[in-house]
Amino acid sequence: MGILIQNAKIMGGAGSFKAADVAVSDDGIIEKVSSSIRPSSSHERVDASGHVLLPGLVNAHTHAAMSLLRGVGDDLQLFEWLRTCMWPREAKMDGRSILLGTRLALCEMIRSGTTCFNDMYFNMDLVAQATEEAGLRATLGYSMIDRAKSGEGVAFDFEGKGRKELAIAETFAKKIQKKKNPLITSSIAPHAPHTCSKELLEASAKLAGKLGCVLHVHAAETRKELAEVLALTKKGSAARRPIDYLDSCGCLTSRTVLAHGVYASKSEVKLVSSRSSSVAHCPVSNLKLAGGGAAPVPEFLAAGANLSLGTDGAASNNSLDLFQSMKVGAIEQKNFRFDASAVKAEDYLRMATEGGAKALGIRAGKIEKGYLADLVLLDARSPNLVPFSSNAGWLVYSAGPQNVTDVMVQGKWLMRGRKLLTLDEEKIMAEAQKRAEKLG
């Protein structure tokens, strides 16, 4: 049975809104968008009067299972936070922890209008299991690291650890492809240019190309990463910055998602655009961990690079709320640039929808005929959204998860009238609380 959403407000040109009906086919594709559509007996009719209809939000970089570590080590510097809080607890995270952490994250994502996410972590079979249960769309990859512990400097172990990591990543990616679930695709996910050897980065690029996968990697996130990559690449050649170094390893293609991109130079911005790669901008996480800079969003936009938006994990962000990321990202740029016009609200709305879908190679992110019916309804009759203004700023600077009432992925409802339909939210929260307490 198809679905007919009537009397909704959808985004039109120049960031304004227009009234429209949207018809969704029984296989979950948008089949018509018009000012008025005559219903048929085969339609489930949804009266969206007083509601805004958005494309589902796409979280282009996160670590869902880390929701179990929310609130741990707040207000610490990044590497102290990792060393004293994250790594000891992650060492205790068994399969049940990964499953519960992911389920908790999916509850939050659905409630905040996210219909698709791009995730890298470990025990990814369980992340995939939870995602299938919930009915969300996702791109999933096993996060690889072959950096070895050493007394001083940075050393790698590709022949030992690296090859094992690559085998795990390839096995998982092929397993996902073999299942042929239209909602879940795979990625190849080397962790970062300072935690992976050149051999592992090169092998990852070749494997992603062979499998036709997204290549998902952290890049230019921190000053420490920048310094380490410059030091690593200076040996025997001219020093390279992180994104430039990744390109030399074959990692920049049209299927690449670079998480963060805070410390991208002008030449690297142009490089990202010329390679048709995407950047997953994560402003809240970067600010909370005091990264010391703001991603060069206006430069990326001017160069024509594809920008998407991510939350990072709930351990560093404390939230998986992309509405918050849109607002904080936009006002961060305005403040750092001393220019309120440095970016526009519609830029960030596009990052969170169309940009994320493009980064992951998904025909979504727009409310147009032929696009996937990954859709979200927001109640515009809420105090924080009154009075209505027909511009993207009204939504980006005012809306939040509290306004999300209904969520669908490929024509299937995951939330109706603020009630989750595919997940037992109360049970998940209770079990997640107990599991988190065991981690310390």
Task: Categorize the per-residue pLDDT at 293 as very low, low, confident or very high, splitting at 50, 70 and 90.
Answer: confident
- What long-range pairs does 25-28 form, CB within 8 A, spacing at least 24? 25/373, 25/411, 26/1, 26/2, 26/411, 27/410, 27/411, 28/372, 28/373, 28/409, 28/410, 28/411, 28/412
CATH code reported for the domain at 57-359 = 3.20.20.140
What residue spans define the domains of the chain? 2-55+373-420, 57-359
326 close to 396: Cβ distance less than 8 angstroms: yes
Report the Cα 14 to chain-centroid distance in Å: 25
Q: What's residue 86's pLDDT? A: 93
For the domain made up of 2-55+373-420, the CATH class stated in words is: mainly beta
Q: At what angle do helices 425-439 and 95-111 cross, to 10 degrees?
A: 130
Alpha-carbon distance 309 to 295, whole Å? 12
Name beta bridge partners: 139.
Answer: 118, 185
φ, ψ (nearest 5 deg) of residue 381: -95, 35
Percent of the chain with pLDDT over 70: 99
Q: What's residue 153's pLDDT? A: 65
Task: Categorize the per-residue pLDDT at 41 as very low, low, confident or very high, splitting at 50, 70 and 90.
Answer: confident
Alpha-carbon distance 420 to 414, whole Å? 6
What pTM was estimated for this model as a whole? 0.97
- Rg of the chain's alpha carbons, rounded to an integer? 21
| Residue 419 structure tokens | 């009630």
Q: What's residue 79's pLDDT? A: 82
Q: What's residue 1's pLDDT? A: 82
How does strand 57-62 pair with strand 114-121? parallel
Q: What's residue 383's pLDDT? A: 97
Q: What's residue 135's pLDDT? A: 98
Alpha-carbon distance 253 to 206, whole Å? 11
Mean pLDDT score, 397-420 = 98
**Nearest partner of 54 among 322, 347, 374, 356, judged by Cα:** 374
* pLDDT tens digits, 196-222: 999 999 999 999 999 999 999 999 999
